[in-house]
């Protein structure tokens, strides 16, 4: 694997700025197949606070990874979906899921073998 020089705009730093943190990837993963209203996302990610969910959705929209659709109704109704650039993150999420599976399997094997 090629070594990457760490600079202010290195690819790893850029990726972490866009999707790093506790919630962004989980939100993007939920938006993978369908658009959702914030209340629906909150049900799917129950341990996120409403304030944090709204904040992270705003950040994802500002970065161009998610789209906010306002239906112009009363009471207000908005829905979030992935942009094309947001869909570019999905293979990264899938690789992270695979890594986590391998990692947990390895831990289990270590515990069972006593190492």
Residue 93 belongs to a domain with what CATH number?
1.10.10.10
User: What pLDDT does 93 receive?
Assistant: 95
User: What pLDDT does 113 receive?
Assistant: 85
User: What pLDDT does 2 receive?
Assistant: 65
Burial of 54 (0-12, 13-18, 19+ CB in 10 A): middle
Q: Would 2 be classed as within a structural domain?
A: no
Q: Would 54 be classed as within a structural domain?
A: yes
pLDDT interval class at 13 (50, 70, 90): confident
Helix (H, G, I), strand (E, B), or coil: what is residue 109?
Answer: helix
The pTM assigned to this predicted structure is: 0.85
Instruction: Between 79 and 14, name the one with better pLDDT.
Output: 79
Q: Would 17 be classed as within a structural domain?
A: yes
Given a cut of 70, whether residue 3 has pLDDT beyond it is no
User: What stretches of the chain adopt beta strand conformation (E)?
Assistant: 66-70, 78-82
Q: Would 6 be classed as within a structural domain?
A: no
Give the range of the structural domain holding residue 87, as residue numbers without chain letter: 11-113
Q: Would 42 be classed as within a structural domain?
A: yes
Q: Would 91 be classed as within a structural domain?
A: yes
User: What pLDDT does 76 receive?
Assistant: 86
Given a cut of 60, whether residue 9 has pLDDT beyond it is yes
Q: Would 4 be classed as within a structural domain?
A: no
Average pLDDT over residues 21-41: 96
Domain count, the chain: 1
Instruction: Between 66 and 7, name the one with better pLDDT.
Output: 66
Q: What is the pLDDT of residues 61-115, one digit of tens each?
A: 999 999 999 998 888 899 999 999 999 999 999 999 999 999 999 998 888 887 5
Q: Would 1 be classed as within a structural domain?
A: no
| 43 token code pair | 């049900």
């Amino acid at each position: 694997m090629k070594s990457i020089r760490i600079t202010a705009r290195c690819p790893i730093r850029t990726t972490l700025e866009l999707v790093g943190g506790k919630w962004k990837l989980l939100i993007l993963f939920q938006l993978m197949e369908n658009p959702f209203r914030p209340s629906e996302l909150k049900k799917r990610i129950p341990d996120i606070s409403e304030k944090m969910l709204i904040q992270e959705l705003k950040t994802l929209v500002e970065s161009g990874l998610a789209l906010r659709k306002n239906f112009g109704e009363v009471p207000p109704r908005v829905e979030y979906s992935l942009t094309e650039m947001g869909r570019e993150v999905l293979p990264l999420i899938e690789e992270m899921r695979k890594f986590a599976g391998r990692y947990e399997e390895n831990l289990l094997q270590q515990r069972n073998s006593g190492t």
